[in-house]
Structures are given as C-alpha cells and as structure tokens.
C-alpha cells in the first residue's frame, strides 16, 4: 500500500511538471500539441488529455495564437481613447488593469484592457459589448461600477473608478508592501466574527443584486474583492461575467472560465449559475478564516487537479472521495454556526449549497445579528497580525453603514431560532405592491397639530422588478449614486399634502434596516432645493448634482440592526424651507438626499409598502392674514382677512 501511495505521489508530481511545461510553452506563443504529450507519456495519457485542455481554458489561452492580441503599452502608446495609462496595477483572468487619468481634470480611473480575444472576431466583440453594457447597469454600493467602455488600437477596454484599497488576496497573504492601515483594519475584522460575517454579507448582497440583473460573475475570489480604507468591500472584475439564461450564439456551450483554485466543480464542465458565485464567496471566507487552501495537490489548480485525481482513482477501481476538510479542523476557534455557513456555501454538490446569494446573505446577516457569537480570534490571525504591528500606524476607520429602503426575509438557523427575535417576513409575490394611499393625514388629539405620514411610492420603472415583487433603486422615487467612496441615497415623496407656509413642528425620515452592521457612521441629510423635484431616471441617476437646501442635519447612528425601524434626527428646518418656497403647492413632491462615506445597503425595500421608507411630518396650518393689528392673540391670528 505504501509503495502504491508513493508511486501515485510521484505520478502526480510528474503530471504537474508536464502541465507547467505545457503552459510555459503556450505563454511563449507556441502551439504545443496535447496529443504529442499524451503519446510521449502513455502512463499519464488519459490525465493529460483531460487535464491540459481544462487548464488551458482556465488560463484563457487559445491554441490559435493568431487570434490573441496582447496589449503592452509603450511610451508612444499609453493612450486608450481619452484615458492616459500611467502604470499597471493588476492582472486578472481576462485582462490587465492600469491606473489612468483623463484630461483635463486628470481624475484617476482604473482601465481594464481585455486580453485573449481579438476585435476581429465578431462573436468576441459582440459578447464584450453586450456584457460591458450589462455591467454598466449594475448600481450597488459594493460593486465597482463600469463608467465607460470602448475599443482602441484593436483592444477592448472598460473604465471603472479607481478604488483606494487592497485586494483580499494580498491581505490574506500578508504581503509586505500592503498599506499597513488597511492591513490592520482587515485583521481587526478577522478577529471579530460578527464583523467578518458582515463583510461576507456585503459581498453576498452585491452578488445577489447582480444575479437579480441577470449577471453571473463566475470569478469570485479574494483578488476580485477590494477592502477600502473606510471598511467598504468592493466586488470588481465583472469582465468574466455572463448573462444568466443567455441562449444566444454568443455563449459557447461548455466554455470554462474562471480561476481554477476558486472554481466550483461544475465550472470544470462549463456550467455556471448563481450557486457557482456562492461557492467562490464561501471559498474566500474559508481562506480568510484558515489562511489555507483546502484542496489537495498544487494549489494553483485547486479543484481541477483534485477532482481529476479523484476520477483517476475511480477509473482504477480505487475507492477515494476527496472532500474539503471541515473549516473547524483548521481553525477550532470559529463558532459552529459560522462554520456551518461556510461549509454549506462550498458543498461539492450544487444542490447542497445555498441556492442563491440572497440565501447566503440572509444567514450571514443573522450571524451579525446574534450578539452571542464567540469573539475569540483565530490564533493564526493573531500571529500574522503581530508580523505587521511593528511597521503599522494607528488606523483611522472612516467607515459607515446602512441606509436602505428594505426589509429582509428572516430565515433562522435550525436549533437556534428560538433565541432570535421575530422579524416581519417578506410578503408573497401576489400581494399588491401598491397601497390604497401612500399619504395619510390625521389630527393630533387635543392640539392644533396635524400628522402626515407618506411613503415612497412603490412604482418601479422596470416591469420585471414589478413581476418579481422587488423594488430596486432604479425606481423613480428611490435612487443611489456614488463616486468611489461617497454614497448618496435620494428619496422622493410624491403628493405631500401640506399647505404653503405651514408651521413645521417636526419632520423625520424613517427606514427599516435590511442587514445588521456594528460599525458607526457619519451621515448628513439634505433636502433637494426645489418646490417640486422631478423623479429619478436611469438616464439621470447621478443625484449628487441636484441643488441642496442650506439647512442640513447630521445623523450618526452607532449601529444598525436588521429588521428594526430607524429615524433620522428632526429635519423640520429642511422641510420648513421647502414649504416656504414661493412656488410650493400642496400635493407637490418633496425629495431628500442622505450622504456619507462607506457601506450602506443599496437594495430598496421588497415591495411590501408597510416597510417602505417614510416621511413623518407634524405641522400646523398656516396662520391666516390678520385684520389690522391684533397683537399676539392666538384667536385673533386665525381670523379671516376682510377684503376692503
């Protein structure tokens, strides 16, 4: 048995050497023949014929070297369209990323140049255009947005904001050149299970949103997750993304894309859906918690070598099943419920995983909500942290939090559900999305005050969203915009029935929190300085340019708990300035802007108007004009004016 195991190990090492040799030849621009490799090594012929094409696809190589156009900027060719490339900052599965500036303001961007495809190929070009357009429509505070795309010098390129942060792969590896403040922030998150769960929930939320828009990422891994210095996590590199349910000729059956180490097993056969992205996120959390790759064999090929090794054993009549070790074996400090979430996300069988990123997000949110999660840190995390403490400075965490228009579905863990408070459930899809009225007024008993409660109209601009019973922020009365870190949420309330120059006693915006976040935030509430602001539209979603009231209100909630109702501080001066405008009329629209730095949930409420964002105003009707001078008599102030 020992001799057999030793022979198998030697065989495995020899196969890996041949694979490295084959890939090196491909990268030099040669076209090595896989069949010649198989004939030269008959004992490994079956493995060579199965493994080499798979890894070649994974490396995004093509046997036809003439179809490859690799862009290498020179001093004479550092320009792509209006963007001037300054330096290379990274390389992904299908492109190289450069830092770039755009004259005359010299604002910095990240420009990703596509590699491995030629613009001479109509299929490749059509696919790039279609998917770039789809990526540009993704508006979520945890997704790096696509700002522009084009073709120049036979190269496709995609332009994104330049995020000031560090990718998780470099933080996990504790690279010496990473920013020490971001590294300390990362390790601080890793030593608090609730904050780590919140980090994962942000990524799951971004993936869930992308899936709702028909996009599958297909390459979720630490290198595509950027931690900003303010604590926000960004999902980047949707360059491998594909449209879900894409049955056009632009999609190649069996096309295998992604990074082998993080690919779900089914991706080896060219099959990818939402559960494949769930696997990538689960695998990333596994590495953060353990700082190890769970797969046997060479780490660079991850599931590829492991699963093919399993096939070889089965073909030879050896019963062997290679499974990922339980995360608790590698880090006993992790709470059991957290370990259960990770292991479910990376189940080999897609049917055994979370069936959507939304399901994973909900369970990670629940971990955030549970205040009794063991906060013990991973011994490995502490050891790694000490490596960098000597060269690190104090970290200023400019982080923030959630402002949303949503209520999330509660699905408690078995065995612990009785310890958790109940949260309102999402309504069934056939429930009406439109209330009988979204504006209610009633008198305050015993006073001359009137209460007004109005919700954001649930009407959506997208019929598909209406059918799903979900309202995203492209609804005409909800909007989100951001530039790198600053995030702005706009809320528009239609039909505010307040007479001009009414006396505002109090005014507050109210929200139900979708997810738990333990971090403080620093927000500012403004009014849109217009007596009847127009709706938000997909063509003009950048609400940062809308005029703002001089009056503003600071809001600094210390934490945000899923399912609870939160109110802003009193905004009566903002509302008073709006109803005092000369062109204000009862029934006009009233809009607000809430601005701050860091992470806030971008998804809107789920279509149940009971949990829509609200504006609550308490006011008195305007005093009617006086007859002559009648002093401060409250009765006299309300006498009707007598016409001459």
End-to-end CA distance of the chain: 114
Q: Measuring CA to CA, how many Å separate 500 from each of 363, 451, 493, 529?
A: 48, 16, 16, 15
CA–CA distances in Å: residue 634 to residues 372, 621, 637, 639: 56, 13, 5, 9
CA distance 564 to 558: 14
Q: Which two tokens stand for residue 482?
A: 């951001």
- Alpha-carbon span 533 to 540, nearest angstrom: 13
Q: For Cα atoms 536, 542, 547, give the angle at the middle one, nearest 5 degrees.
A: 80
What span, in angstroms and rounded, lies between the C-alpha atoms of 227 and 200?
12
Whether the CB-CB separation of 507 and 574 falls below 8 Å is answered with: yes
3-state secondary structure of 313: helix
Residues in the chain: 644
- 115 annotated to bind ligand: no
C-alpha angle 297-320-318 in degrees, rounded to nearest 5: 115
Neighbours of 559 (CB within 10 A): 15
Contact in structure between 211 and 177 (CB atoms under 8 Å): no
Distance between CA atoms of 115 and 469, rounded to whole angstroms? 39
For residue 553, the cross-strand partners are 525
**CA distances (Å), 140 to each of 454, 471, 548, 602, in order?**
26, 13, 23, 6
Which residues pair with residue 595 across a beta bridge? Answer: 488, 524
CB within 8 Å of 172: residues ≥ 6 apart: 222, 287, 288, 291
CB 121, CB 115: distance < 8 Å: no
Helix (H, G, I), strand (E, B) or coil at 162: coil
Contact between residue 82 and residue 103 where contact means Cβ atoms under 8 Å apart: yes
Distance of CA 513 to the CA centre of its chain: 17
**What's the Rg (C-alpha) of the chain?**
28
How many CB atoms are closer than 10 A to CB 551?
A: 17
Q: Helices (H) and strands (E) in the chain — how many of each?
A: 15, 21
Is the separation of the CB atoms in 403 and 593 below 8 Å? no
Nearest to 51 by CA among 247, 246, 300: 300
Name the CA dihedral angle for 242, 248, 249, 252, rounded to a multiple of 10 degrees: 40
Residue in 231, 242, 251 with CA at minimum distance from that of residue 276: 242
CA distances, 86 to each of 54, 83, 216, 364 (Å) = 35, 9, 31, 39
Binding-site residues from annotation for ATP: 112
Binding-site residues from annotation: 112
């Amino acid at each position: 048995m020992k001799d057999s195991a030793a022979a198998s190990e030697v065989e495995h090492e020899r196969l890996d050497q041949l694979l490295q040799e084959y890939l090196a030849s491909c990268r030099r621009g040669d076209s090595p023949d896989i069949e010649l490799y198989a004939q030269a090594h008959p004992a490994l012929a079956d493995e060579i014929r199965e493994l080499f094409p798979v890894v070649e696809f994974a490396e995004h190589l093509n046997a036809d070297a003439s179809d490859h156009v690799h862009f290498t900027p020179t001093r004479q060719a550092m320009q792509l369209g209006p963007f001037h490339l300054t330096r290379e900052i990274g390389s992904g599965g299908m492109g190289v990323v450069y830092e770039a500036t755009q004259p005359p303001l010299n604002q910095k961007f990240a420009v990703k140049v596509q590699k491995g495809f030629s613009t001479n190929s109509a299929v490749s070009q059509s696919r790039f255009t279609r998917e770039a357009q789809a990526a540009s429509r993704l508006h979520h505070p945890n997704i790096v947005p696509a700002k522009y795309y084009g073709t120049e010098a036979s190269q496709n390129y995609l332009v994104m904001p330049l995020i000031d942060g560090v990718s998780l792969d470099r933080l996990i590896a504790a690279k010496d050149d990473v920013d020490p403040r971001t590294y300390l922030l990362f390790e601080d998150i890793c030593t608090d299970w609730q904050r780590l769960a919140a980090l994962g929930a942000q990524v799951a939320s971004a993936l869930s949103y992308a899936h709702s828009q028909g996009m599958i990422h297909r390459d979720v891994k630490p290198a595509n997750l950027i931690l900003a210095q303010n604590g926000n996590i960004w999902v980047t590199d949707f360059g491998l993304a594909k449209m879900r349910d894409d049955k056009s000729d632009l999609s190649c059956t069996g096309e295998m894309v992604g990074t082998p180490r993080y690919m779900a097993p089914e991706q080896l056969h060219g099959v990818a859906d939402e559960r494949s992205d769930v696997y990538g996120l689960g695998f990333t959390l596994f590495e953060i918690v353990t700082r190890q790759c769970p797969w046997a064999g060479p780490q660079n090929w991850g599931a590829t070598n492991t699963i093919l090794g399993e096939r070889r054993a089965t073909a030879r009549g050896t019963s062997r099943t290679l499974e990922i070790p339980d995360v608790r074996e590698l880090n006993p400090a992790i709470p059991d419920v957290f370990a259960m979430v990770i292991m479910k996300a990376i189940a080999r069988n897609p049917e055994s995983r979370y069936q959507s990123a939304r399901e994973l997000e909900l369970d990670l949110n629940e971990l955030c909500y549970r205040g009794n999660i063991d906060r013990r840190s991973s011994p490995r995390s502490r050891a790694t942290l000490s490596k960098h403490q000597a060269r690190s400075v104090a970290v200023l965490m400019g982080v923030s939090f959630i402002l949303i228009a949503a209520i999330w579905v509660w699905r408690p863990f078995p065995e612990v559900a009785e310890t958790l408070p109940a949260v309102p459930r999402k309504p069934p899809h056939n429930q009406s999305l439109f209330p009988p009225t979204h504006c209610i007024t009633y008198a305050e008993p015993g006073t001359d005050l009137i209460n007004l409660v109005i919700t954001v109209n649930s009407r959506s601009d997208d019929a598909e969203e209406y059918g799903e019973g979900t309202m995203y922020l492209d609804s005409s009365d909800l909007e989100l915009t951001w530039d790198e870190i600053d995030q702005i949420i706009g809320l528009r309330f239609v039909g505010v029935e307040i007479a001009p120059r009414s006396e505002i006693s109090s005014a507050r915006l109210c929200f139900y929190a979708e997810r738990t976040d333990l971090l403080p935030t620093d927000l500012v509430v403004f009014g849109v300085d217009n007596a009847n602001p127009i709706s938000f539209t997909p063509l003009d979603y950048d609400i940062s340019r809308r005029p703002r009231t001089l009056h503003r209100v600071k809001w600094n909630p210390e934490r945000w708990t899923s399912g609870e109702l939160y109110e802003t501080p009193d905004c009566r001066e903002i509302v008073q300035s709006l109803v005092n405008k000369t062109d204000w009329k009862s029934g006009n629209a009233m809009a607000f802007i809430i601005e701050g730095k860091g992470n806030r949930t971008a998804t809107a409420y789920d279509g149940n108007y009971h949990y829509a964002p609200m504006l609550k105003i308490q006011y008195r009707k305007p005093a009617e004009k006086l007859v002559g001078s009648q002093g401060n008599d409250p009765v006299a102030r309300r006498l009707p004016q007598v016409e001459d």
